[in-house]
Structure 1
Amino acid sequence: MTFSRGTVEEIAAVLAASGLILRGGFGFGDEEAAPAGPSGAPAKSMLLVGQAGAAPWPHFQRWLRQQARDIANPLDTWSREVIGAVAQGCGARAISPSDRPYLPFQQWAMRAERLKPSPLGILMHPQYGLWHAYRGALLFEDEISQSEAHEAIHLCDTCVAKPCLKSCPVDAYSEQGFAYESCLGHVRGPRGGSCRSGGCLDRNACPFGVAYRYPAEVQAFHMASFARAAA
């Protein structure tokens, strides 16, 4: 059986009601170690699910206000619920980037959308810049009929100034990688107020995809999650 384009469009329409979008997909080769599909047999194909900009935020906030208790990782929980419901409706298995053992979501994303990492490690999208995310994936034991992604323009190659490597007060990002402890100490410290309230200064310095930049409250939410998770 091959999943039709109509079915994929129906899945996209259901996800759109929660501010989520399909982020491409691909079929697993016969020689690949594919993750398990809904029955436990190796999956034959996948569709990545994610967001562009902060479109899911009002849907997530509305859901969060309805919860009767505090949730340790609310955005992950909400994403699992939404994508899990879609999976049930289309006979797929839902998986999440936070599943253990970790699955190679970044490699899958690069394969599905032909993207490359920015100096910050976030994949650079030709339209969304750094303001996008992957929230999960749908695994199928059938083939999916879809067009192959074209090689994306890597905007970082066109950027000479690289402001994303010059805006952090503790130089957390460099060609040597991410200075995790320096970043964490600054975010938690007395001089990290602007990062806590408005997000990563290096990420905000990127000139691409600014129309999709997360609002300050969304960035503050993610920064608070980073500080807590690292505790």
Structure 2
Amino acid sequence: MRGMIDEITAALGANGLILRGGFLFPDDEGGPDGASGEPAKSVLLVGQAGAAPWPHFLRWRGQQPQAIADPLDTWSREVIGEVAQEFGARVVSPSDKPYLPFQQWAVRAEGLRPSPLGILMHPQYGLWHAYRGALLFEDEITLPEFRETIHLCDTCVDKPCLKSCPVAAYSTDGFAYQACLAHVRGANGEPCRAGGCLDRNACPYGAQYRYPPEVQAFHMAAFAGP
């Protein structure tokens, strides 16, 4: 089994992706359908740390029609799907409908907890990581259990992530989506459009994994819409 995990890791790494842990579905829970339609017994999460997939995505993007919808989701589904086919798994994505509980799966797979921004805080990557898909297996695929780590937000006294947004989009009351969207689209939203969320960038953890400005601008453009 260790050999298979190593092979999956290598296959994902060819596109800058990484294995983000996994777990077995309990018998009384049952998983989503696997590749053949039988309930999956195991799930392995796939994602990224920092912006490692970006160059691979850009090369692919340059070969696609300009009008393609949701290009990053499409690329992720395609490259993870190739790995799924090679290893007899079914690929699912966070954007698939009906939505699957990816955030809950991530908590179970890696033991992470949400930051005040809602993004899961990673002990190494900070807020600069993402989940791009998952591999569902109808066999039991086991990984070493995660080690319990400190939740970095518990050690952060100043909480700069709640003080840097000019419209206070994030607070202890949650995310003010409409206020954020209006600001990003408005005349004063250029810093956010060009360099990403100011609250997220204010977090001191995982700074070496921070997405470059062009990557953050890409995600912000997707958030803001046409």
**TM tier relative to shorter chain:** over 0.9
What are the residue-to-residue correspondences of 1:21-40 with 2, within 5 Å?
21-40=18-37
Provide the C-alpha distance between the structure 2 equivalents of 1:69 and 1:154, rounded to a whole number of angstroms: 41
Matched, 1:116 2:113: yes
Secondary structure of the residue aligned to 1:22 is strand
State the match for 2:62 in structure 1: 65
Q: Is the 8 A contact 2:30 2:40 kept in 1?
A: no
Q: Is the 8 A contact 1:22 1:50 kept in 2?
A: yes
State the match for 1:8 in structure 2: 5
TM-score by length of 1: 0.96
Find runs of 4+ consecutive structure 1 residues off by over 3 angstroms.
none
Secondary structure of the residue aligned to 2:134 is strand
Which of 128, 132, 139 does residue 129 from structure 2 map onto? 132
Secondary structure of the residue aligned to 2:28 is coil
What are the residue-to-residue correspondences of 1:150-189 with 2, within 5 Å?
150-189=147-186
Secondary structure of the residue aligned to 2:146 is coil
State the match for 1:51 in structure 2: 48
TM-score by length of 2: 0.99
Provide the C-alpha distance between the structure 1 equivalents of 2:24 and 2:99, rounded to a whole number of angstroms: 20
Q: Is the 8 A contact 1:131 1:214 kept in 2?
A: yes
State the match for 2:72 in structure 1: 75
State the match for 1:211 in structure 2: 208
CA RMSD of aligned residues (A): 0.8
Q: Is the 8 A contact 1:113 1:152 kept in 2?
A: no
Provide the C-alpha distance between the structure 2 equivalents of 1:69 and 1:178, rounded to a whole number of angstroms: 32
Structure 2 stretches of 5 or more lacking a match? none
Secondary structure of the residue aligned to 1:63 is helix
State the match for 2:224 in structure 1: 227
One-letter identity of the residue aligned with 2:21: G
- Give the CA deviation at 1:69: 4.1
- Give the CA deviation at 1:150: 1.7
- Give the CA deviation at 1:145: 2.9
State the match for 1:93 in structure 2: 90
Q: How many residues in Structure 1 have an aligned counterpart in Structure 2? A: 226
